[in-house]
Amino acid sequence: MTSDPERARLDAAVKANDGFFTTFFVSPYSKYVARWAARRGLRPNQVTAASLALGALAAAAFADGRRWGLVAGALLLQVAFTTDCVDGQLARYTENFSDFGAWLDATFDRLKEYLVYAGLGIGAARAGAPVWALAGAALTLQTARHMVIFSWVPPIPPTPPERGARVGPAGWLRRMAVFPIGERFAAISLTAALFTPRTTFIVLLAWGGFAALWEIAGRARRVMA
Amino acid sequence: MIRDDGPIAIALARLGRGLPATALALAAFVPPLAAIALGRSHVLMLGAVVWVVFFGGVSAGGRRDRFDWVVPGLVRAGEYGLLVWMGLDGGFALAFALTLLHYDLVYRPRNLGAEPIVRWAGGWDCRLIVAWILLAIGAAPAGFFVLAALIALLWLGGSPLVQRQGDAA
């Protein structure tokens, strides 16, 4: 039995402005994991560390390079991503925020993603089809995109979107266009499980390249307005 | 600006004074990435490194303009792109280790209000020259992996993961 204030508190623990994949495929159930973790007395930083450990396991499975390794890596990466959503929801649910927690969450997210790139690169090399140039290009593109985002100061400070404000199909498409972390991890899992690491890096480069152009064009338009 | 310039770039920066930073950075970091398509000879790589270090250094002194938020992304793309080109698996490892320092450059001041540790890593200019020398003397990819490990250790040793225990004690 869940009382209404309890439900509202749980819903409020979900980040308001998340991507499409995270909002529709992860948050609907990860918030219950967050509540379970809260009842067990787990702390957000422990969940963040668990997510990195799961990401490292995914990378190790990808590094096997055979089909079962790629499939296991894809599944583990999704578990790691769910766990990554749980830490923030747990922090909001239990109102347990810290500067160190924010640093840890951000840092481990990046580390996890690039460990997975490394695992896929090792797996491809062990399967006899090395893709280091593509893996390196994907890592370069993703880091360069982040550096542009970090360096951007909007000419007019943006107004934060209202919680519960309706987002139309065009709005969700715009959020997907910038290739947020949920979409990236879903793309990695799908392409690695079904195809090869080469396909994964080509998709990361194509979608990430489009996202980079989209982000730069949008910002350029705003400074010229 | 989160450029991570080293001593060579800082010395060259005066040449760029008054010129627009974004145009200079585009001219410095983009053409050598196109050279990647021409092959993998050491001479070509030396040419690309010299180009990036010289013009990239000059661009460090450029005048701020309204598009200069692309500059740190261009610096990263130039450095990592050439490292991966030169080192392949070793270059990937080196770029991976450097991401730790470059995200630290953003997250540490933002989340912890502390100075980043990247200034102990030589700057992108010196690292590119060291990488080319390692390649030229036949020390790649082992030398690239050693450099990557040293950078990862620098990050770990200076990170709050290690430093925080001191605070708590």
Number of H helices, E strands in chain B: 9, 0
Predicted confidence (pLDDT) at residue B169 exceeds the cutoff of 70: no
From A104, A139, A224, residue closest to B92, measured CB to CB: A139
Bridge partners, residue B20, by sequence: B63
Chain B residues close to A141, C-beta within 8 Å? 77
C-alpha to C-alpha distance for B98 and A103, rounded to whole angstroms = 17
pLDDT in tens, B112-165: 888 888 777 899 999 999 999 999 999 989 999 999 999 999 999 988 888 765
- For range B93-103, the mean pLDDT: 97
Question: What contacts 24+ positions apart, CB below 8 Å, involve A176-179?
Answer: A176/A19, A176/A20, A176/A21, A177/A210, A177/A211, A177/A214, A178/A211, A178/A214, A178/A215, A179/A207, A179/A208, A179/A210, A179/A211
B66 in contact with chain A, both atoms CB, cutoff 8 A: yes
**Number of domains observed in the structure of chain A:** 1
Q: What is the pLDDT of residue A96?
A: 87
Contact A100 B164 (CB under 8 A): yes
Question: What is the distance in angstroms between the Cα of A148 and the nearest Cα belonging to chain B?
Answer: 5
Q: Which residues of B touch A221 (CB under 8 A)?
A: none
pLDDT band with cut points at 50, 70 and 90 for residue B166 = very low
**Nearest CA to B105 among A195, A151, A59?**
A151
* CATH label of the domain that carries residue A25: 1.20.120.1760
Kindly report, residue by residue over A192-207, the tens digit of the pLDDT: 999 999 999 999 999 9
Residue B60 is predicted with a pLDDT of 95
Q: Where are the domains of chain B?
A: 7-160
Chain-chain contact of B102 with A143 (C-beta, under 8 angstroms):
yes
CB B11 within 8 A of CB B57: yes
Please name the residues in contact with A90: beta carbons below 8 A apart, sequence gap of 6 or more.
A13, A34, A37, A38, A42, A43, A44, A47, A96
Q: Could you tell me the pLDDT band of residue B3, with boundaries at 50, 70 and 90?
A: very high
Q: What is the pLDDT of residues B18-74, one digit of tens each?
A: 999 999 999 999 999 989 989 999 999 999 999 999 999 999 999 999 999 999 999
- For chain A, residues with pLDDT lower than 50 are 1
CATH of B7-160, one of 1.20.120, 3.30.70, 3.30.530, 1.10.10: 1.20.120
Interface contact A144, partner B, CB < 8 A: yes
For residue A106, list chain B residues with Cβ-Cβ distance below 8 A.
103, 107, 111
Distances (CA, A) of A183 to A28, A81, A85, B84, B132: 16, 11, 13, 25, 36
User: B84 and A144 in contact by Cβ < 8 A?
Assistant: no
Is the CB of B76 inside 8 Å of chain A's CB atoms? yes
Phi, psi (degrees; rounded to nearest 5) at B20: -70, 125
Task: Count Cα neighbours of A98 within 13 Å in the Cβ-side half-sphere.
Answer: 11
Q: Distance (Å) from the C-alpha of residue B89 to the closest C-alpha of chain A?
A: 6
Return phi, psi of residue A204, to 5°: -60, -40
Matching residue, tokens 């690491």: A197
At residue B126, the pLDDT reads 97
Taking only Cα atoms into account, the Rg of chain B, rounded to an integer number of angstroms, comes to: 16
Burial (Cβ within 10 Å: 0-12, 13-18, ≥19) of residue B162: exposed
Q: Which pLDDT score is estimated for B165? A: 55
